[in-house]
Amino acid sequence: MHVTFTALQEIVGQPKWPDAPRAYVASFGFEDRALAWLARQEGDPNVKKVAFLRYVNAKGKNKVEEARNLAKKAYPRASISEIPYMLSKESLLEKRIFDTVANDFRNVEEIILDISSQTKLLILLWLVIALQAGKRVRVVYCEATHYPPTKEQFEKVRSSKGTHRLAALTGFPTMGARSLVRAHSLSSIRMQGQPTALIAFTSFNEELIRHVMGSINPHRMLLINGLPPNESLCWRAYATQELHSRIIEEYPADNAIDSVTNLLERTVSTLNPSETVECLEKIYELHGRLERIIAVGTGSKMQTVGLAIFRSRHPDVHVEYVTPDSYLFPGTPTGIGVIHSNEISRIT
């Protein structure tokens, strides 16, 4: 499969896209930015279907009625459906997404995938399944204005050796690692028995990667660091790299440090998925012929978009997802920032 995508674009107002039967997919979120996209849309007759993911065990109160009312206003000709999402029943979730794309979206040419309130597992599943079905996907994403933790909160945890309790109290997004999720649409049995090259993204929860390493025992561990484009947030790239410093020390040959920036040479934007795709393609070119590649979705949401595009291009790559042991309410992004869009197409 050949997958192509446009450069990241900033969306201002209501976009004028070509006429085509479309579907809109989002989650009933609780963050400030959850409804930012819908609130800007009004009366698009081309959207025929709307599907909302409802978190059964939500981290916060889902904005269900607000989302439904905005969807009716934005897409007056669309039928609205819901898909329950339980973290303990990922296989059932995958089947429901597959059935939605294959049946409900059968006559849809394009899916507008609003990832602002979607988990990384949902992003991976929707994108890979939709592209496999030959759909064109427009990823829309609203940035927050404040992301946890703050620099001061991180320094507090850092000085106290990062205890779990303090991390929970000071705004880290997640804590610990619970289980690995293996979805059929993200799996690959190719090159089993070969040495494993494990790819993962840095985050504020280093235990996610440790959990995968304990299950896979990789021959090679390749970390990809994330650099926010906002200069005031650049400290986060150094913070997440520091949290993974022991892994870097264990696999120094695979994780070279740039002598000028002191960041991993494999550092890409947390916002622009094209940088993630380019980085992953270089890894594939170096190691994909002789080693089994397993990637883990531990990065930002837009890095996860890049991972999904990469996986759609290379079905021999195996992708896994790690569920955190807990999602922490203090670690919630706030505010409504810039809205972005990427168009992703399958070309056979």
The domain that contains 67 carries what CATH number?
3.40.50.11700
Are 110 and 11 in the same domain? yes
Q: Is the domain of 291 the same as that of 343?
A: no
Q: Where are the alpha helices (DSSP H) in 8-139?
A: 36-40, 64-74, 90-99, 120-132
Residue 166 lies in a domain: no
**First-to-last C-alpha distance (Å) of the chain:** 6
159 occurs within a structural domain: no
H/E run at residue 323:
strand 318-323
pLDDT above 90 for 109 = yes
Let me know whether 186 and 137 are in one domain: no
Q: Is residue 161 part of a domain?
A: no
Is 95 inside a domain boundary?
yes
Task: Verify that 249 and 343 share a domain, yes or no.
Answer: no
Residues 215 and 92 in one domain: no
Asked if residue 292 is part of any domain, the answer here is yes
Q: Is 163 part of any domain?
A: no
Mean pLDDT for the stretch of residues 180-207: 89
Q: Is residue 160 part of a domain?
A: no
> Do residues 338 and 308 both lie within one domain?
no
Is the pLDDT reported for residue 220 higher than 60?
yes
pLDDT for 286-340, tens place per residue?
999 999 999 999 999 999 999 999 999 999 999 999 887 555 445 688 999 999 9
Q: Which residues lie closer than 8 Å to 93 by C-beta, 6 or more apart?
A: 83, 85, 86, 125
186 and 303 share one domain? yes
Which residues, other chains included, contact 322 with Cβ-Cβ below 8 Å and sequence gap of 6+?
177, 178, 179, 180, 181, 208, 209, 211, 212, 296, 297, 298
- pLDDT tens by residue, 162-185: 544 445 444 455 544 456 788 999
List the structure tokens of 26.
Answer: 């989002």
- Whether residues 124 and 267 fall in one domain: no
- How far is residue 31's CA from residue 21's CA, in Å, rounded to a whole number? 29
d(CA 145, CA 212): 31
Helix, coil or strand: residue 143: coil
Indicate whether 231 pLDDT > 60.
yes
- The answer to whether residues 111 and 246 belong to one domain is no
The pLDDT, as a whole number, for residue 348 is: 59
What is the structure's pLDDT at 179? 67
Same domain? 315 vs 203: yes
How many residues are recorded in the chain?
A: 348
Q: Does 224 score more than 90 pLDDT? A: yes
What CATH number is attached to the domain comprising 239? Answer: 3.40.50
Cα distances from 171 to residues 142, 151, 160, in angstroms, run 21, 11, 15
What mean pLDDT value characterizes the chain?
Answer: 89
98 and 190 inside one domain:
no
Query: Which of 227, 229, 207, 320 is closest to 279 using CA atoms?
Result: 227
Instruction: Give the contacts of 290 (CB within 8 A, at least 6 positions apart).
Output: 194, 195
Q: What is the DSSP letter of 6?
A: P
pLDDT for 326 equals 52
How much is the pTM?
0.92
The total of structural domains in the chain comes to 2
Domain with 15 in it: 2-145+334-347
- Please report whether residue 157 resides in a domain: no
Mark whether 316 and 195 lie in a shared domain: yes
Hey, which residues does 82 pair with through a beta bridge? 52
